[in-house]
């Protein structure tokens, strides 16, 4: 084998190795996470939990104690009774609540690989199911309103297991 050909093979091997190394860095989106990054994520998620409670306290969700309506069902009853225009502020509040819950889920999923406790994963699964079901009902609300139907069943309370797991994670990071 000539020296020229050997040199070409070595250069080719180096190029292939460099490409493989570059691709592995791209595949590892977050090669290292610091404790500071984890704390920031947990603080942001905690802040979104507090904001969620504030939004819920601002929403007018008064309903008969016997009906066990959630805010979406109550809003549907109100817009049927008075029209959607009179309840625009409540619609904005429900939209803010939907955005808040989606942001919380996105950050919670981003934090999952850094979680220190096993109960965080189960709490996250419950949060995911809750947010997806709630948003499905919210997105269907105006179709249901126009058709004169009722919202699909599926109202469940916010998963406290996620909030508890998040508190445990926060305590472990501080």
Nearest of 18, 34, 36 to residue 26 by alpha carbon: 18
Residues 74 and 133 in one domain: yes
Residues 96 and 161 in one domain: yes
Residues 159 and 86 in one domain: yes
Percent of the chain at pLDDT > 90 equals 39
Reply yes or no on whether the pLDDT at 45 is more than 80: yes
Distance CA 162, CA 128 (A): 10
Residues 9 and 76 in one domain: no
Residues 8 and 55 in one domain: no
Residues 73 and 111 in one domain: yes
Residues 154 and 68 in one domain: yes
Residues 68 and 92 in one domain: yes
Total number of domains constituting the chain = 2
Q: What is the pLDDT of residues 85-144, one digit of tens each?
A: 999 899 999 999 999 999 999 999 999 998 888 899 999 999 999 999 999 888 888 888
Domain that holds residue 2: 1-31
Tell which wins on pLDDT, 20 or 53.
Answer: 53
3-state secondary structure of 34: coil
Residues 24 and 49 in one domain: no
Segment 14-39 shows an average pLDDT of 63
Residues 40 and 58 in one domain: yes
Residues 42 and 24 in one domain: no
Residues 51 and 118 in one domain: yes
């Amino acid at each position: 084998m000539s020296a020229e050909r050997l040199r070409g093979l070595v250069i080719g091997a180096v190029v292939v190795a460099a490409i493989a190394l570059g691709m592995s860095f791209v595949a590892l989106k977050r090669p290292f996470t610091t404790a500071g990054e984890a704390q920031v994520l947990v603080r942001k998620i905690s802040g979104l939990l507090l904001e969620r409670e504030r939004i819920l306290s601002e929403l007018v969700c008064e309903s008969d104690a016997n009906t066990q309506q959630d805010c979406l069902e109550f809003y549907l009853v109100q817009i049927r009774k008075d029209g959607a225009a009179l309840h625009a502020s409540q619609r904005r509040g429900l939209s803010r609540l939907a955005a808040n819950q989606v942001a919380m889920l996105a950050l919670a999923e981003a934090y999952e690989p850094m979680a220190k406790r096993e109960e965080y994963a189960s709490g996250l699964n419950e949060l995911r199911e809750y947010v997806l079901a709630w948003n499905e009902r919210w997105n269907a609300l105006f179709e249901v309103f126009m058709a004169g139907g009722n919202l699909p069943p599926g109202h469940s309370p916010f998963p406290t297991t996620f909030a508890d797991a998040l508190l445990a994670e926060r305590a472990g990071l501080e």
